Structure 1
Amino acid sequence: MATLLPKLIAACAVALASAGMCVPAAAAGTTAAAKEKHPKAEKVLKAQARKKPSKKAKAAVAGVAVAGAATAAVVAADPLEVNEPDITDTKVTEYACELNNKVTIYTNETDDSHIALRWKHRLHRLSRVGTTTGALRFENPHWGLIWIGIPAKGILLDSKLNRQLANECKNAEQSAIVAAAPADAVKS
């Protein structure tokens, strides 16, 4: 990454210079120091002007343009991925997790392909991802959040840092089932 940055800057400078968007200080004639000419510097400048940009430099400039356009397209395509979702008219389910963590899920009856998840005082919109196991899996690739809901519990993961954020998350209904199970076992 460290070696790519100077190459990228040089490629951008070449692209701007070829487009006529930047003018060398000597051509502008703004200072007396710029009017002085050094023979070696003049040779180097002439050699650089004659040299065509390499294929790598052209690819780097094109890559930066494509990456910028792709980022703008993602933000323009789905602004709710970045901005907080609207949670009016939603069903609220609160989960108590281990280590005293709390997760709140907001679901809309008309839209089962998205949920809003509150984690650490921030609201995130997650989209459903299909699974072969039947578990409910929702992801937000922008923030790297993954919510996996199974009948016994829920888990919140951070895919960017590859770690669990909250585990053993249970809502009131799931906690009631766990509390009732030992009482039934004692009776038998």
Structure 2
Amino acid sequence: MAEYIRSELDTPLGARRKKLLRFDDDAVGAAAEKVARFFGTGQYLMWQTVIVIIWISLNIGGFWWNWDPYPFILLNLAFSTQAAYAAPLILLAQNRQEDRDKVTITADRRRSEQTKADTEFLARELAGVRLAVGDMVSRDYLRHELEDLRSLMERIEAKLDDVSADAIDSAGDLSEPIQGDIVDNPDDPGENLGR
């Protein structure tokens, strides 16, 4: 017996709960990739270095209000917070890149399998064409055979001409008819037939 599948089209879906906060995973992932890309640039390192130098110089410089004295605990807390968010953002960006790489690898694998199948098909077709061309008549072979046939026809025509010339010559040698009535008027052979 088939299992009951809740996602069939004839089964109504239950009411979905509305979430208080709704996150679009793709939007969060895209933002994480932008932040991770910015963290990996020289521009970020330069600005971070400038901010640290200004922070330390303002707190050591002897101003009347040092908001972060020497061990710079507030600065360390800011860096810890930044690192706590940067690591998951970078991991999220890497995971998204890995997913894209998997899709690309799958598409490349499918494309290479299709290319291999097409190549094998073309190789088989080419082998078939080579076999068929081996059995086919080439232009030079056909021309040679036609020339042989033409010379054979010319010899046959010459023989026929010789035979017909011999027949005409032998008919001229006969001066008297061998059988039948003699025709008096050579212009009208049917005139003396009634005798």
Indicate the TM-score class for this superposition, using the shorter chain for normalisation: under 0.3
More strand by share: 1
TM-score, length-scaled by structure 1: 0.24
Q: Which structure has more RCO (C-alpha within 8 Å, separation ≥ 6)?
A: 2
TM-score, length-scaled by structure 2: 0.23
